[in-house]
Amino acid sequence: MKSIVLTVTVLCASLWAGAQQKQPVYLDLSQPLEKRVENALSLMTTEEKVSLCYAQSKFSSKGVPRLGIPEVWTDDGPHGIREEVLWDEWGGANWTNDSCTAFPALTCLAASFNPKLSLLYGKSIGEEARYRNKTVLLGPGVNIYRTPLNGRNFEYMGEDPYLSSHMVVPYIQGVQSIGVAACVKHFALNNQEEWRGHINVDLSDRALYEIYLPAFKAAVQEAKVWSIMGAYNQFRGEHCCHNDLLLNKILKNDWKFDGVVISDWGGVHSTDQAVKNGLDLEMGTYTDGLTTNGKFPYSDYYLAKPFLKGIKEGKYDIALLDDKARRILRLIFRTTMSANRPYGRFVSPEHSEAARKIAEEGIVLLKNDKQFFPIGSGKYKKIAVIGENADRSLVVGGGSSSLKVAYEKSPLEGLIAKYGKDHITYSLGYASGPALYGREEPSKLNADSLINAAVEVAKQADVVFFIGGLNKNHFQDCEGGDRKSLSLPFGQDKLIDALLKVNKNTAVVLLSGNAVSMPWINKVPAIIQGWYLGSEAGNALAEVISGEVNPSGKLPFSFSKKLEDNAAHFYGKISYPGDSINQYYKEDILVGYRWFDTKKIAPQYPFGYGLSYTSFNLGTLSTNKSVYSKEDVIKVRFTVKNTGARYGAEVAQLYVNDPVCSVSRPVKELKAFEKVFLQPGETKVVEMDVKVSDLAFYDESRKDWNVEAGDFILQLGNSSGNISQKLKITVK
């Protein structure tokens, strides 16, 4: 009897087990996120864990099909959602449902000095990424503007770590509020395109911590960014995509980053380092190393077969694999498997409205003699519009941020819509050739005949708008190469001179992501720094030029008079671009206005500068106390009054100087700013909180931040070059 019972029991058990085996294994989705991560991890095989850590196509990586865990789909870029590409290609796949809204470049967003617009930007672009079913948006970029030659400055947020930190946080919060992971990039010290794949950057710890890390630290600790992209270059001898100091020590240990480190495409060069130095997801590797499009199986990736083999042989601790898989699962559960993930929207009227608002608030009025601007629609009968940038797409090209857009309103179209086509005559003026990647192809048009034709048009006009600047061609504002000089390219200086000779009523509008030299500056009555303004470019420019919108942008980086005036170009080749192997940032912490102020070099236009069609007055600066402890918050108070006749906005900027310190410190550093909108005659009280701890310098002798007791000088102004009030406080 017993044997029958035993047999039946064993039979049932095996049937149950068999039946159990046949049941699909369900993830326990009811648990809190971290429990779900552990639950999924416990159900996965080693092979499945390794398969999470490397690409399966140009922009995607595997999920765990057996457990219903979806793939990870990444996509560029910081200004709009890149078109679909073929499985393993860079080129577009010519889909017909992926033409996006182009938002202004991030230099324009930074120039708005308006964190509320960053949140709007992040939500809007996040909705477009969500609608396109992307898991990760490969942006924003926050590399510091160190040299005006860097081909990718247009993608970033300028020269000041405080501005970049405060503008990047809301952008990331906006993107991630839509259930899409942002991927802050390129971590770190990718401040040029020349030799970007290997140049071995070094600098002082002070410069690293005070200038180049703050925006990334804010992204991680304040915005809680869900992923970060390693940079191509090396830092102190290790590639940033697997750099022990940057990724293990600073990012994961000190900053407690719990997200995914994604390599830049082709930024991984070693299995051992990728396994041990903090990389989690390998993308875009060229295993054969010989070409950038080698046909090879993704299983040859550094974190693919070689990693699995190392785990199986006990060369690599399984804990290293579990940490990578855990982070990737966490990203998936925060996005595609999030139970309450919002839905997206694509090319909606709200996104166009957002794009235009950001463009309008980012445009900077640099010069406006005799109220040249605004120009009401009835003021002139004959308006000449000259220059290729009035009529050329500026969203195509530039490298990975290039976009296929639903529409792009050009400056010429915007001006015609505003003033009427009968009042506008256009002439090309100069030509630059096609926006190619990796090489330039000069235009075949005859430059002199273009100038002559433009001069004829200018002669007949009451007013001339020259619309030029840079563009997204190689050696201009484009990834993969740096500019060769500070000058405007394609013969624009010569053209501007020719136009001024026949019509002194010629204004210059520059569309660019970088500073340029201005040899004609004393002859031109008005200058506007427009940025890459995206789909709404023409509308935004026309609103500002006509006065519908009062410009309120401020420069996020300094304009120097000549290239050698810039810190990065003062110390010879080793400082920029390096000796082709190594590079040392010899200007140390003196980047941008820190350099111009401290070395007493007058910039052409200073950081934080921008005019308005109205005027403002910053009223008396006061603080809640005059003596503070190191744990205190300094409560700063002042008024802003609109003393002109038009509605407008001023950006009040608070800089701080530490006159007596054991180390040398810049003449001033930005520690707070606020954009204030005012009706004519209106006054507002502004209060700013500045933590005493934010006045610290990075003390290399202590390997930590340090506020030395003593006096600090608070400096209030509307530009780094225009301080209107100073106030001394003391830290005990």
Query: Which residues contribute to the site for ligand GLC (CB under 6 A)?
Result: 76, 138, 185, 264-265, 400
Verify cis geometry, omega within 30 degrees of 0, for the bond prior to 374: yes
d(CA 463, CA 11): 95
- In one letter, which amino acid is 106? L
State which residue, 514 or 614, has the beta carbon closest to ligand GLC: 514
- Please, are residues 284 and 266 in contact by the beta-carbon 8 Å criterion? yes
In the complex, the smallest distance separating the C-beta of residue 138 from ligand GLC, rounded to whole angstroms, is 4
| Catalytic (active site) residue 160 | no
Q: Are 411 and 389 in contact (CB under 8 A)?
A: yes
| Dist CA 402 CA 245 (whole Å) | 32
Nearest residue (CB) to ligand GLC, 138 versus 524: 138
Annotated catalytic residue within 264, 280, 477, 493: 264
- Phi, psi dihedral angles at 216 (to 5 degrees): -70, -40
CB 101 within 8 A of CB 352: yes
* Residue in this structure with the two tokens 């990586």, named with its chain if needed: 61
Q: Which two tokens stand for residue 670?
A: 């930005």
Our CB check for ligand GLC shows the closer of 155 and 543 to be: 155
Q: How far is the CB of 196 from ligand GLC (least distance, A)?
A: 8
**What's the min distance (Å) between Cβ of 286 and ligand GLC?**
12
The Cα–Cα gap between 218 and 75 comes to 23
Q: How far is the CB of 520 from ligand GLC (least distance, A)?
A: 35
Nearer to ligand GLC (CB atom), residue 51 or residue 227: 227
Report yes or no: 543 and 562 within 8 Å, Cβ to Cβ. no
Q: Which is nearer to ligand GLC, 160 or 264 (CB)?
A: 264
Question: Between the CA atoms of 489, 491, 493 and 498, what dihedral angle is there, to the nearest 10 degrees?
Answer: -160
Identify which of 197, 185, 177 has the alpha carbon closest to the alpha carbon of residue 126: 177
How far apart are alpha carbons 616 and 678 in whole angstroms? 9
Q: Are strands 200-202 and 234-235 parallel, antiparallel or unpaired?
A: parallel
Q: How far is the CB of 63 from ligand GLC (least distance, A)?
A: 20
Helices (H), 568-657: 593-598
d(CA 500, CA 504): 5
Q: Give 83's contacts (C-beta < 8 A, 6+ positions apart).
A: 92, 93, 95, 98, 99, 100, 403, 404
Q: Collapse the DSSP code of 12 into the 3-class scheme (helix H, G, I; strand E, B; otherwise coil) and give the result.
A: helix
The least CB distance from residue 265 to ligand GLC, in Å, is: 4
Angle subtended at Cα 192 by Cα 189 and Cα 198, rounded to the nearest 5 degrees: 70
Q: How far is CA 215 from CA 312, 331, 477, in A?
A: 39, 21, 22
End-to-end alpha-carbon separation of the chain, Å?
Answer: 90
Report the alpha-carbon distance of residue 706 to residue 206 in Å, rounded: 11
Query: What is the smallest separation between the CB atom of 513 and ligand GLC, expressed in angstroms?
Result: 14
Q: Which is nearer to ligand GLC, 178 or 231 (CB)?
A: 231
- The owner of tokens 């997206």 is 344
Q: Position 531: which residue type?
A: W
In whole angstroms, what is the distance from residue 210 CA to residue 216 CA? Answer: 11
What is the sign, positive or negative, of the torsion defined by CA atoms of 507, 510, 514, 518? negative
Enumerate residues 6+ apart whose C-beta is below 8 A from 132.
75, 81, 98, 100, 344, 346
Query: Minimal distance in Å, beta carbon 192 to ligand GLC?
Result: 12
Burial class (CB in 10 A: 0-12, 13-18, 19+), 216: buried
Residues contacting residue 547 through CB under 8 Å, at least 6 positions apart: 373, 374, 375, 376, 613, 646
Of 364, 275, 254, the C-alpha closest to 318 is: 275
CA distances to 41, 45, 49, 330, 333 from 326, rounded to whole Å, are 7, 13, 9, 6, 10
Short-list 527, 386, 476, 434, CA closest to 148:
476
Whichever of 262 and 390 has its CB closer to ligand GLC, that residue is 262
Task: Kindly list the catalytic residues.
Answer: 264
